[in-house]
Amino acid sequence: MSSSPLLKMDRIGKRFGRTVALGDVTLDVRTAEVHALVGENGAGKSTLMKILAGAEIADAGSIEFAGRPFQPREPRDSLSAGIAMIYQEFNLAPHLTVEANLVLGREHAAARVFLAGPISAFVGGGQRRQCRSVLDRLGMRVSLDARVGELGVADQQMIEIARALLGGARLVIMDEPTSALASHEVQRLFEIVRQLRAEGISVIYISHFLEELDRIADRVTVLRDGRTIATGELSDWPRQRIIEAMVGRKVEEMYPRVEHEIGEPLLEIRDLAGRKIPRRASLTLHRGEILGIAGLVGAGRTEMLRTLFGLDPLRGGQAVLRGVRIERFTPGDWNARGVGMLSEDRKREGLAQNLSCIANITLPAVSRGSRFGLIGRRREHAASRDVGRVLKIKWATPRDKASALSGGNQQKVAMGRLLYSDAEVLLLDEPTRGIDVGAKVDLYRAIGELARHGKAIVMVSSYLPELFGVCDRIAVMSRGVLSPALGISELSPEKVMHLAVGE
């Protein structure tokens, strides 16, 4: 392991409007090392990596790459310097062939006329041969003429890595690379990462799965609230210490337990099936219960909630609410029966960004408190303020547009909607994704209090400690099939992961 520095990011700062995304971040990566970057959602990892990849521009601080000052203004700058980023959502053109994707943006002059394909094999200056050799280096046997959209997730990821190598990358950033992979695919990815390290390429490795770090990383940097909290050799940083550095408090304080009693069954779902996923999901939800749904990304957790709520088409299944069989699965009907949903996609679905917080909070129940169709404006203002007080929403006035609030407060507004509409069953899809720790704790407490008041909560989350900290029972979704829910005392994170990958 060489120790010569490759990258030095010094006192990096970045603001978005009123929100400080990065306060003071320092990161240094050595040549030929795997450097883990960890932190809670919203800690600033993505922003920092986007700055490095040229997708965002830093407000403050300096970057030194390979011994030279480096100021990326756009992604092309970073690519030509030798920094390649592999996003969680791949940047591939699914309709183009493997070869076309590999050479996209750097086609050989002649090949630009004929594009990729058999013709370019004659005029492309050995481009096709280069592509083939890179794929061989990664041990991939896919055809260069296969359409990328037809490949599996793991192969698509390898194409991304191959593209980085083809571009002469010296530093590869991987953002949550294992979140969509099965365990044997994770194994293969780790081998590739080790191979890259052996070839002298550095890797910045972002992951939520801390147990992976022991297998792959050399050093670790912990971010929290836009600051570098700690950095060091992984051997000096046991998992518990990393978690405490990430969270900034003892783990026990993170999940405030609110005593709640579990009552009679409220909602029963049997054999719910959507267009593709979920294939089969059954569960029974009781009053005063918090039921967690774990599983890999793409296993069908979100789709299950959406299908149940009538946002995605239903293929089959039954639901019984308070002993009454439900015939129509539409958001309007569920809403009228006291079932509400929180979307995982705050920006595009969760909130109407350019409407006021009042309008957002009262939307499912505007007609309540209205007379002859006229909205009682004073009532809704007062009620929104009460919701704000309960959830500790930070706003100047509830008339503020939702877009003016920080992520955590926006999520509280979306949650406040379910309080305002007095929903008895709350379907929460990743309720704490991308928000700061303080807001998380507020939301956990609110969820606990709701359970104490006899509401029933389904909570989908990709973050296992959160599920174990908050839920009474956990069910695991694996390839569209939901396992029976088990009490958290009968489960362990390892067991959940086993169920999730279907082993």
d(CA 149, CA 221): 35
* Interface residue with another protein, options 148, 383, 458, 476 (CB under 8 A): 383
The residues near 473 (Cβ < 8 Å, ≥ 6 apart) are 289, 291, 292, 485, 486, 487, 488
Contact status: 486 vs another protein (CB under 8 A): no
Tokens for 432, please give them.
């704490």
* Interface residue with another protein, options 8, 385, 394, 479 (CB under 8 A): 385
Contact status: 252 vs another protein (CB under 8 A): yes
Percent helix, strand and coil across the chain, each to the nearest 5:
40, 25, 35
The answer to whether the beta carbons of residues 18 and 394 sit under 8 Å apart is no
The answer to whether the beta carbons of residues 501 and 182 sit under 8 Å apart is yes
d(CA 105, CA 123): 17
Contact status: 381 vs another protein (CB under 8 A): yes
138 φ, ψ to 5°?
Answer: -90, 5
* Interface residue with another protein, options 55, 104, 153, 375 (CB under 8 A): 375
Fill in the per-residue mask, 340 to 359: x = in contact with another protein (CB under 8 A), - = not in contact.
-x-x----xxxxxxxx---x
Find, among 12, 14, 15, the residue nearest to 26 by Cα: 12
Contact status: 409 vs another protein (CB under 8 A): no
Number of residues that bind another protein (CB under 8 A): 70
Q: How far is the CB of 327 from another protein (least distance, A)?
A: 13
Tokens for 296, please give them.
């890999």
Contact status: 235 vs another protein (CB under 8 A): no
Nearest residue (CB) to another protein, 283 versus 351: 351
Nearest residue (CB) to another protein, 60 versus 363: 363
SS3 of residue 195 by DSSP: helix
Contact status: 270 vs another protein (CB under 8 A): no
Fill in the per-residue mask, 167 to 196: x = in contact with another protein (CB under 8 A), - = not in contact.
------------------------------
* Interface residue with another protein, options 261, 379, 492, 494 (CB under 8 A): 379
* Interface residue with another protein, options 46, 360, 478, 483 (CB under 8 A): 360
Nearest residue (CB) to another protein, 74 versus 422: 422
Contact status: 15 vs another protein (CB under 8 A): no
Q: How far is the CB of 321 from another protein (least distance, A)?
A: 15
Nearest residue (CB) to another protein, 199 versus 422: 422
Residues 294-333 that bind another protein (CB under 8 A): 309, 311, 313-315, 330-333
Contact status: 463 vs another protein (CB under 8 A): no
Contact status: 251 vs another protein (CB under 8 A): yes
> Tokens 């040229």 label which residue?
54
The residues near 116 (Cβ < 8 Å, ≥ 6 apart) are 96, 97, 99, 100, 103, 107, 124, 127, 128
* Interface residue with another protein, options 234, 366, 481, 486 (CB under 8 A): 366
Contact status: 257 vs another protein (CB under 8 A): yes
Nearest residue (CB) to another protein, 270 versus 385: 385
* Interface residue with another protein, options 390, 434, 454, 498 (CB under 8 A): 390
Contact status: 492 vs another protein (CB under 8 A): no
HEC states along 78-145?
HHHHCEEEECCCCCCCCCCEHHHHHHCCCCCHHHHHHCCCHHHHHHCCCHHHHHHHHHHHCCCCCCCC
SS3 of residue 243 by DSSP: helix
- The one-character DSSP state at 494 is H
- The one-character DSSP state at 488 is G
The total of other beta-carbon atoms located within 10 Å of residue 348's CB is: 9
The answer to whether the beta carbons of residues 77 and 125 sit under 8 Å apart is no
Residues that bind another protein (CB under 8 A): 17, 251-252, 255-259, 275, 309, 311, 313-315, 330-336, 341, 343, 348-355, 359-360, 363-364, 366-367, 369-370, 373-375, 377-379, 381-383, 385-387, 389-391, 399, 403-404, 417, 419-420, 422, 445-446, 448-450, 452-453, 468-469
